[in-house]
Amino acid sequence: MNRRYRKTVIAGNWKMNLTLTETQTFAEELRPLLSRSKWCDVVLCVPAINIPNAVRLFKNTRVAIAAQNVHYEDHGAFTGELSARMLREQGVKYVIIGHSERRQYYNETDFTVNRKVHAALAEGINPIVCVGESLEQRELGVTLEHITYQVKAALSGVPAEKVRKIILAYEPIWAIGTGKTATTQQAEEVCQAIRTVVRKLYDARIARAVTIQYGGSMNTKNAAELLAQPDVDGGLIGGASLKAADFAEIINAANQE
């Protein structure tokens, strides 16, 4: 973290978990635990159907509500999809784009990721763009090349004044839902490399200002150590964001001096 130059953002990605009833319980449990959070922004990426209720439940708290996906067109014959404007009108502030699960199961490509980034920015929604290597890519030694390609593709055509609105989330695929976390060195190495890509594409000031998260089995035990890395500016948390007490503990880890 480096709070002098950029925001620390702790985001929970609920994926296809927590019903409306469970969301209500979570909100009741989290609210009293949030009072101590001072430094970091908090985001919850909830299932789309629960967005309006989540916005209402977290009104007047530090928690911003996010979507887990968005379509790149602004309207049209795209059965089952949601546009950035629809999300914005419901109070959505962030949207996850290019999560590895969507790349793997729903045909998300670097091209659609880039189009979605532009669509979200056009509506003033902050994209949380996920990048990450597979185990095979890590073992082949091509992690940084792969990440560089993904970041460049995602940012293609994004003007300098909009880059700060984007959060880049490094999520090694082999660490997601596996209980296998990247070491602090691995997380820092890739997050630093991502910042270098941004610097080369834009400039040092923009690179310094951009928030880069780590995601992949981040939990109450390893969060503080990961967040202590200079280029890890937050977390994108799956499993450990489903329990209010655990999520609050990670937020507090990001709020340490």
Please give the structure tokens belonging to residue 85: 């404007």
Match 């500016």 to its residue by tokens: 233
For the beta carbon of residue 17, count every other beta carbon within 10 angstroms.
14
97 part of the interface to ligand 13P, by CB under 6 A: no
The least distance separating ligand 13P from the CB of residue 237, rounded to whole angstroms, comes to: 5
- Look up 133 and say whether it is catalytic: no
The least distance separating ligand 13P from the CB of residue 138, rounded to whole angstroms, comes to: 16
Q: Are 244 and 29 in contact (CB under 8 A)?
A: yes
The least distance separating ligand 13P from the CB of residue 113, rounded to whole angstroms, comes to: 14
- Look up 71 and say whether it is catalytic: no
Binding mask 7-46 for ligand 13P (x = CB under 6 A): ------x---------------------------------
Q: Stretches 57-65, 137-145, 190-198, 213-221: which one binds ligand 13P (CB under 6 A)? A: 213-221
Q: Stretches 107-115, 140-148, 182-190, 235-243: which one binds ligand 13P (CB under 6 A)? A: 235-243
236 part of the interface to ligand 13P, by CB under 6 A: yes
Chosen residue from 98, 127, 172, 216 binding ligand 13P by CB under 6 A: 216
Q: Restricting to residues 167-196, name those near ligand 13P by CB under 6 A.
A: 171, 176-177
98 part of the interface to ligand 13P, by CB under 6 A: no
155 part of the interface to ligand 13P, by CB under 6 A: no
Residue of 71, 99, 133, 188 with catalytic role = 99
The least distance separating ligand 13P from the CB of residue 216, rounded to whole angstroms, comes to: 5
Kind of pairing between the strands at 234-237 and 8-13: parallel
Q: Stretches 74-82, 201-209, 220-228, 236-244: which one binds ligand 13P (CB under 6 A)? A: 236-244
Q: By the criterion CB under 6 A, which residues form the site for ligand 13P?
A: 13, 99, 171, 176-177, 215-218, 236-240
The catalytic residues are: 99, 171
